[in-house]
Chains A and B, each alone.
Chain A
């Protein structure tokens, strides 16, 4: 890093930088689950807009939306363990001009209630915000039934969808505000497990925009949600091997920032994608589709392979299922060799 002519990082907290090369960012940096940022942001937004309502399905204590319910009891609706009813009711509320945030775990939002999410929310384009915690294999100890490893792929396939998966607690807050201001359905993906606070307050969050958070010339690593921090660690490992990796945080899976991604790919000539989501139909697929139709080049996808995970500590799971920094770095080395 010191050999670079210019300081490569953008919007990365200064106190995090020394923790990247050692990987200590995951143990020593300030951490919080992004679901907690959502729970706080929705109180803030609800305080300023009386049309904001929060719908829960018996996991408000887990997501933290019970705090909204305590603050605004008349605008909080707990549907019990009945996600199908909750999402269709959210659609009904939205037809009257309310702005419902319907909250549950990613597996239930994207699968249990998918028919409602597709037909009652996205087909009519109703202004429902789907707040999905436990996305990816982030609820480590809970095991497979609660690990939403397909939600981003499923939601991306639905017409009119906007799919957002912010990387850290503070950019999650920015994303919630942007989603609330946006007219139409938005799927918001959060982590159950704590992730490091990596970005500064001036991070330019905008729906549909990817943000370059590390400049680099040899390879572009495009990462989302909790794997962006791992991509930054991977970039440090690569720097030690004289590979200069660009890192793009891509909080909006859909609409994909095709312009920025294509430009970065052309400038670096090789691409790695990193997502805590199945490799089918998510970020890797989206970028591969973009590149193969515009600028085919060496590319590798980091993501959950054709398998279910298991119970275990979050970071150990990322290692075991091939998602953590060493895997990202190895993939980058491999694509650079193929250039």
Chain B
């Protein structure tokens, strides 16, 4: 088991491991969402192996940091991170989406140790995070709530309801990370229903906004640490990412939003991810 917190170099290697898990899981399941899992991998890795106060032996520890993957379809990255972090045995990863598996197509908090909130219907996770953050303030807990939202998901009106309320209650124990990969199920976000100027929108809603390259691990860690330290209000980390990051034929290709690689494609993907990781 990896000794946390990991260094930036170790985080990069762990991210590569998690990317390999994602490819293997989705290939084995013959279904799933690789593109958005891979775009969020560096963020999720930094959270689980560096930032979050959690205890894999006590997944419902009341004082733990909370994580919500509001774009729940990207759960392979969440499952892989939890398994690598020791919340459950890695053998479960091969059961993704199978009948009787704890690893549902979209995450179920009552089936998987470490899943802090059931997700799948878009536009809900940030609101759930608002509730957790308000509860933390009310009960004088020090935990931090981390929510990853999608850019396509940001077309949901409820995201902006949540944004308003985060500012109203000055929830500095809440951080949203926007996985800005610019692709959604049907097409490019900026063409299908543009969300820009998205940083300005969040600022106008009263959030502190930090823009980063969501695959620059050093920048990811710095932004997350800064968000945790920031007082007085919530932070939105605008993480510019690449959908399908790490797999050449998946990168920025819309079709890989919700398609499984065949074995041959998976082998190529694994080789690319491992080679890239070794070169680092």
Contacts and interface: CB of A to CB of B under 8 A. Distances in A.
A96 B135 CA distance: 7
A110 B161 CA distance: 18
B132 A96 contact: yes
Nearest to B129: A92
A88 interface: yes
Contacts of A119: 118, 120-121, 124
Contacts of A84: 123-124, 127, 157-158, 161
A108 B46 CA distance: 39
Interface in B74-111: 108-110
A115 B124 contact: yes
A74 B165 contact: no
B233 interface: no
Contacts of B128: 88-89, 91-92, 95, 120
A113 to B, nearest CB: 9
Interface stretch (A75-83, A173-181, A274-282, A315-323): A75-83
A92 B165 contact: no
Interface in B257-272: none
A98 interface: yes
A92 B120 contact: no
Interface residues of B, number: 33
Given A88-B127, A124-B118, A97 B62 contact: yes
Q: Is the interface of A mostly helix, strand, loop or mixed?
A: helix
Interface in A274-319: none
B127 A125 contact: no
B132 A124 contact: no
Contacts of A97: 62, 135
A262 interface: no
Interface string A83-110: 0111111111111111010000000000
B211 interface: no
B131 A88 contact: yes
A116 interface: yes
Contacts of A182: none
Interface residues of A, number: 30
B164 interface: yes
B131 A92 contact: yes
B127 A53 contact: no
B130 interface: yes
B131 A90 contact: yes
A203 interface: no
B150 to A, nearest CB: 16
B162 interface: yes
A91 B124 CA distance: 10
B62 A124 contact: no
B116 interface: yes
Interface in B165-188: 165, 169
A98 B169 CA distance: 18
User: Which of B108, B136, B161 counts the most chain A CB atoms within 10 A?
Assistant: B161
Contacts of A100: 131
Nearest to B117: A95
A53 B137 CA distance: 13
Contact of B136 (A85, A87, A96, A124): A96
A120 B123 CA distance: 11
B28 to A, nearest CB: 25
Contact of A85 (B62, B116, B138, B161): B161
B165 A82 contact: yes
Nearest to A96: B135
A184 to B, nearest CB: 12
Nearest to A98: B135
B280 interface: no
Contact of B158 (A85, A91, A124): A85
User: Which of A88, A95, A115 counts the most chain B CB atoms within 10 A?
Assistant: A88
User: Which of B129, B139, B158 counts the most chain A CB atoms within 10 A?
Assistant: B158
8 contacts: A80-B165, A84-B157, A85-B127, A88-B127, A88-B131, A88-B158, A95-B109, A115-B121
Given A96-B136, A116-B158, 6 more contacts: A75-B138, A87-B127, A88-B131, A95-B116, A95-B131, A120-B128
The 5 closest A-B pairs by CB, nearest first: A92-B131, A88-B127, A89-B131, A85-B161, A92-B128
